[in-house]
Homo-oligomer: A and B are copies of this chain.
Amino acid sequence: MELHDLIDGLPDGAVVTDPDLLASYRQDWARDPDAGTPLAVVRATGTDDVAATLRWAHERRIPVVPRGAGSGLSGGATAVDGGLVLSTERMRAIAIDPVTRTAVVQPGLLNAEVKRAVAEHGLWYPPDPSSFEICSIGGNAATNAGGLCCVKYGVTTDYVLGMEVVLADGTVLRLGGPRLKDSAGLSLTKLFVGSEGTLGIITELTLRLLPAQPPQSTVVATFASLSAAVDAILAITGELRPSMLEFMDSVSINAVEDELRMGLDREAAALLVARSDAPGEFARREAEIMVAACEKAGAAEVFHTEDPEEGEAFTAARRFAIPAVQKLGTLLLEDVGVPLPRLGDLVTGVAAIAERNDVMVSVIAHAGDGNTHPLIVHDPDDAAMTERAHRAFGEIMDLAIALGGTITGEHGVGRLKKAWLPDQLGADVMALTHRIKDALDPNGILNPGAIL
């Protein structure tokens, strides 16, 4: 093999071939059992390494799977047999410009590291996946990641003003820049955001920042029925724009309470965590409107706090739902979204799918924007249950599509969900997607098997 050409062209230690180490790069958090074994892992130290790697791979038609922190949930970074994994974990520079309120970051920084670095300048990078402490900013851009604040502040693409990206053949491009307005040429920056490494590898991002978020008021409400909780969600979003509006069902409430012992109501069918970051006393006023909406919808209990730390504790509890439910079994993690008026239909439909397939499904949701995470609990050693779990996984996507929704709100399609993508987009949009993919990556080396 000509791997020596690659090794010689890159810094010492950039190319990993040790089998034990390679094994740790085979899967992301989707834990795809069919993951391949890569030829090598390239841990790039900069754009030049990425370009050299792609030139080498392009000539030889060797697949390249880009990888950030490996926290993806859709198998977008699952390794391919005989291919390379290109890891950006060592590309960690950041430069912050408070005057233009922008940050230029390399893709390997974690989302939380970006947030902390800009906070030192009194600035805020809003997108906040629940995994923000462990996911990379490059992976966020590749999947157009969302989070909890998106109901008010939008998703990753709304904060990407420019980038450096390396095309399949190793060409390095600069797109956009620190300008809020730029109508010069096609919106290529936006095309690469969310392309999951299938069109190019992002080596630098220019991010738009906001002033620090004001302190938030927090409302926590429990409900005896799912439908009452959905009524409260629609009432809240109809009156104002919460800075967060999160939903947990009975299974996740109990799973979190088992771990954190914070006094959550174990009898509740649903719990909402709603926040307002309106300036000054307007946060309290908005919280009071949200309290009233919950009470009118028939909430069992409503709690309201102005203490940011107390509010953060409930937010952390909601973020902890996935690891907590994971204690009950292995999870198939869904990410379906629907237009908000269909949220009730989605939640009740998921319950019916769980019952029909005899599997436990816990639903947590970024309720304010209709993006839900049904967590399908199963025992992988029980083949029959695993089969039922996978059937439920597909049926939930079918349901979301039928409700005019999406199979993925923020995790991406990766390899896990691509079989359902044509059902959502239709044959003509898939054909257009292929035309763009073929135009940008004629040899098909970039993340083959993801999305398409």
A280 neighbours in B (Cβ, 8 Å): 282
Give Cα A278 to B440, complex, Å.
44
Would A158 and B154 count as touching, CB distance under 8 A?
yes
Known contacts A182-B409, A238-B99, A436-B436; is A404 also within 8 Å of B177 by CB?
Answer: yes
Report the interface size for chain A: residues with CB under 8 A from the other chain.
87
Residues from chain B with Cβ under 8 Å of A339 in the complex = 100, 177-179
Interface: A274 (CB within 8 A):
no
In the assembly, what is the distance between CA of A385 and CA of B100, in Å? 37
> Which residue on chain B has the smallest CB distance to residue A234?
B99
Query: Chain B: which residue is nearest A143 at the CB level?
Result: B183
Query: Is B99's CB under 8 angstroms from A408's CB?
Result: no
CB distance from A234 to the nearest CB of B (A): 7
Across the two chains, which residue of chain B brings its CB closest to A442? B435
A262: CB under 8 A from chain B? no
- From A335, which residue of chain B is reached at the shortest CB distance? B183
Contact A439 B433 (CB under 8 A): no
Q: Could you give, for residues 426-447 of chain A, a 1 whenever the CB lies within 8 Å of some chain B CB and a 0 otherwise?
A: 1011101101101110000000
Separation of A99 and B230 alpha carbons in the complex (Å): 13
In the assembled complex, A87 has its CB within 8 A of some CB on chain B: no
Given contacts A100-B340, A171-B428, A439-B438, contact A187 B195 (CB under 8 A): yes
- In terms of DSSP, what is the predominant structure of the interface of chain A? loop
Report Cα–Cα, A188/B180, bound state, in Å: 20
Q: Are B411 and A183 closer than 8 Å at their CB atoms?
A: yes
Please state if A185 and B451 are interface contacts (CB–CB under 8 Å): yes
- The reply on A240 being an interface residue by CB < 8 A is yes
B100 and A341 contact, CB distance less than 8 A:
yes
Chain B min CB distance to A97 (Å): 8
What is the bound-complex CA distance between A167 and B431, given in angstroms?
A: 12
| Residues 345-384 (chain A) with a chain B CB within 8 angstroms | 366, 369-371
- Please give, as numbers and ranges, the residues of chain B lying within 8 Å of A151 by CB-CB distance: 180
Chain B neighbourhood of A439, CB < 8 A: 435-436, 438-439
Question: Which 8 A-B pairs rank lowest in CB-CB distance, beginning with the nearest?
Answer: A190-B190, A181-B409, A439-B439, A180-B369, A435-B439, A182-B406, A187-B194, A183-B408
* A interface residues (Cβ-Cβ under 8 A, vs B): 97-101, 143-146, 150-151, 154-155, 157-158, 167, 171-175, 177-188, 190-191, 193-195, 198-199, 210-211, 234, 237-238, 240-241, 278-280, 282, 335, 337-341, 366, 369-371, 404-413, 417, 421, 424-426, 428-430, 432-433, 435-436, 438-440, 451
Give the residues in chain B near A241, CB-CB below 8 Å: 210-211
Bound-state CA distance A155–B101 (Å) is: 17
- What residues of B have a CB within 8 angstroms of the CB of A335 in the complex? 183
Given contacts A146-B181, A171-B428, 4 further A-B contacts (CB under 8 A): A101-B237, A180-B369, A185-B421, A191-B436
Q: How far is the CA of A101 from the CA of B368 in the complex (A)?
A: 12
The answer to whether A188 and B407 touch across the interface, beta carbons within 8 angstroms, is no
- What are 15 A-B residue pairs whose CB atoms fall within 8 Å in the complex? A173-B429, A177-B406, A179-B339, A180-B371, A181-B370, A181-B406, A183-B409, A183-B410, A183-B413, A184-B424, A186-B195, A187-B194, A188-B432, A188-B433, A435-B439
- Contact A183 to B412, CB < 8 A, known contacts A174-B426, A429-B188, A439-B438: yes
List of B residues within 8 angstroms of A177 by Cβ? 339, 404, 406
* Cα–Cα, bound, A150→B161 (Å): 14
Contact A366 B181 (CB under 8 A): yes
A387 to B344, CA, bound (A): 65
* Nearest residue, chain B, Cβ from A340: B100
Q: Is B195 touching A406 in the complex (CB atoms < 8 A)?
A: no
How many Å lie between the Cα of A434 and that of B243 in the bound state? 41
| Min CB gap A139→B, angstroms | 12
Q: Which residue of chain B is the closest to A451 with respect to CB atoms?
A: B185
CB of A371 within 8 A of CB of B181, answer yes
